[in-house]
Structure 1
Amino acid sequence: MSQSAKALFNRRKQAITKEKQYYNKFIFNGHFSVFLVILLGAFILGYGEWLQTMPKNINYALIVSIIVAITSLFPIRTLLKEADKLFLLPFEQHMSTYMKKSLVYSYMLRVGMQIVIVLIFFPLFYVLNNQTFSFYIVFAIVALINPMLGLLLKWQWYKYKLEGWSVHTLLFILYTAMYYVTLEVKNLSGLPIVIILIALIVLLGYLNQKQLFPWERMINAEEQHHMNYYKFVNMFTDVKHIKTTAVRRSYLDPLLPTPKGKRFNENNMYLYLFIRSFVRGKDAFNIILRLILIAIVLMVWLDQMIISLIIGSLFMYIIILQMAQFYTQQAYGLWPQVWPVSDAKVIKGYEQFLYRLMTIVGVILFITYTSVQPLFFYYALIFFVVGAITIRNVTKKLKYQEALLRD
């Protein structure tokens, strides 16, 4: 039966890998790949210059320890489905084999990012410690071992029916302490914490010998992880399996005045619908907000005239382009069936929405660029030019696609 458990997990792993390969074609397309390459180059350039002039009176060991402690909290990916709590219930005694494969998969899924984080911080401590790095090797090894121990402890913790926030808090404290001691004291003083983690795993494993499999918890957690992935992919292409949610955000109510009188008609309905869906929606709003924050941080951090212009222009382009999928979500939804209007008016409302979004984003980027390059503030007008050209191309493509659908 253990072979059946392995075969079941392998089939599901192959299925989700195939699905990700399909969606990756839409995510890592030409323009986004170029964007990532330029963003990486800008980061390397800015990081190298910052290392030469970085302030010395900051506790970098504590800051890095907190960051790496957060990235060390790997989620458990079980690939379980809703029907499993019924059809796999007789199979429960063999689920330990399934979970071993699951924990290994969960670790391999995120360890690449952990390696990148460790490599990013290596130049910082190499410079701070006068080109000595033997202690950093110990830190790197611990940073790669801890996530696996954390996954093992999480599994036993969940099986014992303890709250998830408690194990995350415990792991965060232990990880931070271990990393900080290793980076600050530069010896093996943090290794006893590894022994504590192993002892907790063994103790809970002994207590869980007669515990049943936490079906509901594991299925709900897997469904949430999968839905988060769909939400991310949905910003690049349509995803049929996604479940959308809405958030009140009362502080944005001034952006949603209800059309009255003569403005309450088919010429203004889609502008209002797009704005409302964006302001109340959870996914598009959060992603655009994150992109704006990343652009601000990079422009202020790099503090270079040309590089900041490139970064701002790229983020303006990618923000407008990400909203292209927003059109299909709304234009082919329920409202066109309730109140049918011509395609031209839908596209016109979408174009008006994009111009309003471009204005807000452009003003934010303009202010950011002016604050770091006040003598060349007029260069920041290029953000609006890039936004206008992008909107024009997006709407032109939409009109062409609608024309093909009519034919």
Structure 2
Amino acid sequence: MFDSNAFFRNRLSEHMKEMSRYLRYIFNGHTAVAMLFFISAIAVYYQQWIANLPDGFPTALVVGIVFGLVASYSPVRTLLKEPDLVFLIAAESKMNAYFRNALLYSFVIQLYLILLVAAAFGPLYAATYPNRPGQSYLLIVVVLLIFKVWNLFANWWMLKVRAPGVRQTDLLTRSLLSIVVFYFLIQGNMLFTAITTGLYIVVFLYDYNVSRKHTGIIWDLLVEKDRNRMQTFYRIANMATDVPHLKNKVKRRQWLASLVSNVSFQNKQSFNYLYRITFIRSGDYLGMYIRLIVIGGLFIYFVPQVWMKILFGFLFLYMSIFQMMTLYHHHRTIMWLDLYPVDHKWRRQAVLNWLLQLGIVQTIIFAVVFLPLQEYTGAAITLVGGLLFNYLFINGYVKSKLD
């Protein structure tokens, strides 16, 4: 006899083993060092900023937006896999306990986000409203937990609707209402808080009514949602270690590919062409590279001390090169590369050259960010030091790892 409770426990055990295996690499590697540096630096500057909080800062608006988005982001982790589309459909009527456990698990694993956000904005709330008792912020956190549960149920009910437009409209409506509720709650306007909460409950009951009209389970949608979330986790883990489960998406990006694929038709240039095209079209290499440039540039622009700006610039250079190293192993499962009539040393050299070129471009961009701030010494140090760091790190550490 099929026991959905036992089935969920087995599926959860497999999932936790899979997650822990990659989390061990993430938090033991270079990524953990970078994260520790970021958190420490941000905590110091955040404390200094709180101590000199400007008058009239819109705390209610900022915290309301963040709390509303955190409450609305409530995905349901069902832990379903593609074979379940065949083997579990027949047992759909016996899966109530499984999905109840999935909802509970989804809520528990999202508690860390609530705790982090509540801890981060607690000092800002206390600095803005020093005359309010400490229990007032605790009440807001309790309301956040309640809205989290409501949004989790609403998201689960809307997963019975196949039309993506309906689901997106419903999510947008609930997100806006959640933001408004927390905005008025933080302001202390209980009348408008009650009114907007009532509007939210109307939408909540509408979602429940919609779910009752769609009694069946859209199995393929649940599997797709869970697969996409696991692929996101694999992309993060891929920054620290090789992930064979990662499915790479290929995008054409013809105009970008034409800019970097201008190489001569020689045997030794074959891998130069291949890895440049791979960087542009495959996986998240291009997106990751651009995101690191943007985030690093923002840190350089807004951090007040010039030496911290320079350190952040070097840190983001290091992160970019370290994460782009996986480009070398991108085609590891394709046998055709071993059949190319090209010396293997050109393959390694192509990756090293491309990483060096990406590092040079990133270094120049970071140096340019200093110019509007009229910090020419920082720009010069970042440019010269960044170019030297790229050359030594790539021809030293990266080259030894590829070997």
TM-score, normalization by structure 1 = 0.89
Which residue of the partner structure matches residue 66 of structure 2? Answer: 67
Amino acid at match of 1:87: F
TM-superposed deviation, 1:181? 0.7
Amino acid at match of 2:298: V
CA distance in 2, matches of 1:158, 1:187: 33
CA contact (8 A) 2:293 2:316 kept: yes
340 and 193 in structure 1: CA distance in 2 versus 1, 3 angstrom threshold: farther
Which residue of the partner structure matches residue 379 of structure 2? Answer: 377
Q: Secondary structure at the match of 1:272?
A: helix
CA contact (8 A) 2:257 2:277 kept: no
CA distance in 1, matches of 2:219, 2:320: 39
**Are positions 1:235 and 2:234 aligned together?**
no
Which residue of the partner structure matches residue 48 of structure 2? Answer: 49
Identity %: 23
Structure 1 ranges of 4+ moved more than 6 A = none
Q: Deviations over 1:56-98 (max 9, x none)?
A: 3443322332233222212111011122232112221122221
1:18-97 alignment, distance < 5 Å: 18-72=17-71, 73-97=73-97
Amino acid at match of 1:121: F
Which residue of the partner structure matches residue 218 of structure 1? Answer: 222
Q: Secondary structure at the match of 1:351?
A: helix
TM-superposed deviation, 1:17? 0.7
**Are positions 1:110 and 2:110 aligned together?**
yes
TM-score, normalization by structure 2 = 0.89
Amino acid at match of 2:381: Y
Q: Structure 2: where are the runs of 5+ without partners?
A: none
CA distance in 1, matches of 2:227, 2:344: 36
Q: Structure 1: where are the runs of 5+ without partners?
A: 401-407
1:90-239 alignment, distance < 5 Å: 90-130=90-130, 132=132, 133-161=134-162, 163-185=166-188, 187=190, 189-191=192-194, 193-194=196-197, 197=200, 201=204, 204-205=207-208, 208-209=211-212, 211-239=215-243
TM-superposed deviation, 1:152? 0.4
340 and 54 in structure 1: CA distance in 2 versus 1, 3 angstrom threshold: farther
CA contact (8 A) 1:103 1:151 kept: yes
50 and 86 in structure 1: CA distance in 2 versus 1, 3 angstrom threshold: same
CA contact (8 A) 2:261 2:276 kept: no
1:208-357 alignment, distance < 5 Å: 208-209=211-212, 211-250=215-254, 252-253=256-257, 255-259=259-263, 263-330=264-331, 333-337=334-338, 339-357=340-358
CA distance in 2, matches of 1:393, 1:24: 27
CA distance in 2, matches of 1:294, 1:358: 15
> What is the total number of aligned residue pairs between the two structures?
396
331 and 356 in structure 1: CA distance in 2 versus 1, 3 angstrom threshold: farther
CA contact (8 A) 1:61 1:180 kept: yes
TM-superposed deviation, 1:363? 1.0
50 and 334 in structure 1: CA distance in 2 versus 1, 3 angstrom threshold: farther
CA contact (8 A) 1:35 1:314 kept: yes
216 and 319 in structure 1: CA distance in 2 versus 1, 3 angstrom threshold: same
Q: Deviations over 1:127-147 (max 9, x none)?
A: 122363443222211222212
CA contact (8 A) 1:5 1:95 kept: yes
CA distance in 2, matches of 1:277, 1:384: 24
Amino acid at match of 1:32: T
